[in-house]
Chains A and B, each alone.
Chain A
Amino acid sequence: MSRGFRWTLGFCVGVGAVVPLAVIVLSAVFSPAGVAVGVVLGAVYTALIIWLLRLLPIWPRGISAWWVVMCLGWGSGTSMVAAFLTAGPLIHIVEYVGWTEALASWAGAYPEEIIKTAGVGVVLFSFRRLTRPWHGLATGALIGLGFEVIENISYGATLAPSHLESDVLGALEIWVLRLSAGPILHIGWTALAGWGLGLALFAAGRSPSWRVTTALGWFMVAFVLHFGWNYVSDNDAITIATFFVVAAVFYPTLIVVTVRAVRQARADRSYVYTEYPITSVKQLPVVSIMPGDGAVDKSGHPVIQPGTRHRS
């Protein structure tokens, strides 16, 4: 845990918190019904994803609730600030170059994947309990969740008035479209980038060049997938083909990585945490941690109860 990273995290999330509040308040001026639909669906979606993630052993044991709050805050606030600042100049550059088919790709993928991945790094260094590669995956998923929800609320409320019958139907249509045609996109992209960062930071016995290559490689996977998803060709066939190719690469990759992370988390016997701070040598266990030895929690992590001694 680094105090510098922790101050950075607090500052960035604190400043960025203005964004989700502004999105909700400003959108409510235009379409109160659209915002209401978005806030309710966003809350349900957030709770559902967090609940699902908590079922997996990749969820850091004994982690503070602040970790969740900070991840969601970085995704929904800090990331949005960076996206707002950089998207306009990127659009200008892409239009100037004349590559308008990639307008949304550059304006979306470039600033968003950079700032979300940076957020994973800042969060990983801010919490002492984040010490394994799969913690990068989980952190990335939560940051992506924050981004995805505020983006859906924003799009839902802004586009709700374009429905010819009502704002409620308009907002619902946008939410259903975004959740069905490309579910968990931001969650998955940032999770993959976070997995790479987690490997780079927490895998032992690796060279510095391997760490840099791994972190950048997984970041590029997230970037290219996002870039491809946003690409709108003048030729509809190319747009649709790109859409299917990205989906065919993204979802299997996410599943493979998640399964691998879950297996590694289950197999990890070196991850130990105590229910209470150990303040006396009497609490120190004489323990040799071996697979199947001693008390373990639901995920197989050894749990040392204070005041008890485990002997091999």
Chain B
Amino acid sequence: MRTYQLQPARSGTMWWWLLGATAVALFIPIIISAFLPAVTYEDEQVTLGYDEWEITLGQRCPWVESTMDDAWDCPGVTIMGRQTETTDDPEHALFRVARDATYAAWDPSSTLVEDGPGRLLINPEYPEVAMSFQGSGATSGEQMFVVLMGTPSSMAETADEVWQAYGLGPLDEEIYAEIREGAGQDHFDLRDFLPADILEV
């Protein structure tokens, strides 16, 4: 008795079954999704960090999980937090966290503010502000990174709130103004290259 058989001589039916079933299976979710309304997320109190170092901001925004980055999606600003162990070079780490959030190249001459355990970085190329805080006492050996992306005014307000939440005073007025007016000013914008009459339509 034979154990194995060769491929069927005529495979046209098999072709339709295999590829048809595959196409149907893959397109079903696309079709179902097209008929579903957009998902809305409930607002929650914005919190950053965990354990001894959890802080709460005044805003209530939806927490949006994605496959790559989870973030608070607040009006005008997206807030990402990341708590890690301290590293040998906190300044280098801050530049890397800031780059990781946007993949935007960083100008080494970007404004970097240092105030005790806090550092703040303003990206001139992209609307982004990154901050880091070194822990002490119960949080010794830990560091916290906060990255903001959004409109300059919202970033300035949120940066000031975060800065104070981590025990530092209000942001220096010059820094606040620089974020409000300067962050992302060199960001590529297609509108800069289009004729004005097109933009007015």
User: Taking the nearest CB of chain B, how far is it from the CB of A48, in angstroms?
Assistant: 28
Interface size class of A (residues with CB under 8 A): 35 or more
Residues of B with C-beta under 8 A to A162: 96-97, 100
With A8-B19, A115-B22, A118-B18 known as contacts, the answer to whether A107 contacts B65 (CB < 8 A) is no
Nearest opposing residue in chain A for B5, CB measure: A204
Q: Does B15 contact A5, Cβ atoms closer than 8 Å?
A: yes
Q: Mark B39-80, 1 if CB is under 8 A from A, else 0.
A: 100000000000000000000000001011000000000000
> Which of B3, B29, B65 has the most chain A CB atoms inside 10 A of its CB?
B29
Number of interface residues of B (CB under 8 A): 37
Nearest opposing residue in chain A for B23, CB measure: A118
Q: Does A204 contact B87, Cβ atoms closer than 8 Å?
A: no
Q: Does A86 contact B29, Cβ atoms closer than 8 Å?
A: yes
Residues of B with C-beta under 8 A to A161: 96, 99-100, 103
Residues of A with C-beta under 8 A to B87: 164-165
Q: Does A202 contact B4, Cβ atoms closer than 8 Å?
A: yes
Q: Does A82 contact B2, Cβ atoms closer than 8 Å?
A: no
- Distance, CA A128 to CA B9, complexed state (A): 11
- Distance, CA A121 to CA B93, complexed state (A): 48
Residues of B with C-beta under 8 A to A163: 96
Nearest opposing residue in chain B for A271, CB measure: B4
With A89-B33, A201-B7, A270-B2 known as contacts, the answer to whether A114 contacts B84 (CB < 8 A) is no
Binding site for A on B (CB under 8 A): 1-7, 11-12, 14-15, 18-19, 22, 25-26, 29-30, 32-34, 36-37, 39, 65, 67-68, 84, 87, 89, 92-93, 96-97, 99-100, 103
- Distance, CA A29 to CA B19, complexed state (A): 36
Residues of A with C-beta under 8 A to B68: 158
Q: Does B65 contact A118, Cβ atoms closer than 8 Å?
A: no
Q: Does B33 contact A165, Cβ atoms closer than 8 Å?
A: no
Interface residues of A in 119-133 (CB under 8 A from B): 121-122, 124-125, 128, 130-133
Select A270's contact among B4, B15, B33, B34, beta carbons within 8 Å.
Answer: B4
Binding site for B on A (CB under 8 A): 1-2, 4-5, 8, 29-30, 82, 85-86, 88-93, 95-96, 100, 103-104, 107, 110-111, 114-115, 118, 121-122, 124-125, 128, 130-133, 158, 161-165, 201-205, 268, 270
User: Taking the nearest CB of chain A, how far is it from the CB of B38, in angstroms?
Assistant: 8
Residues of B with C-beta under 8 A to A110: 29
Nearest opposing residue in chain A for B16, CB measure: A4
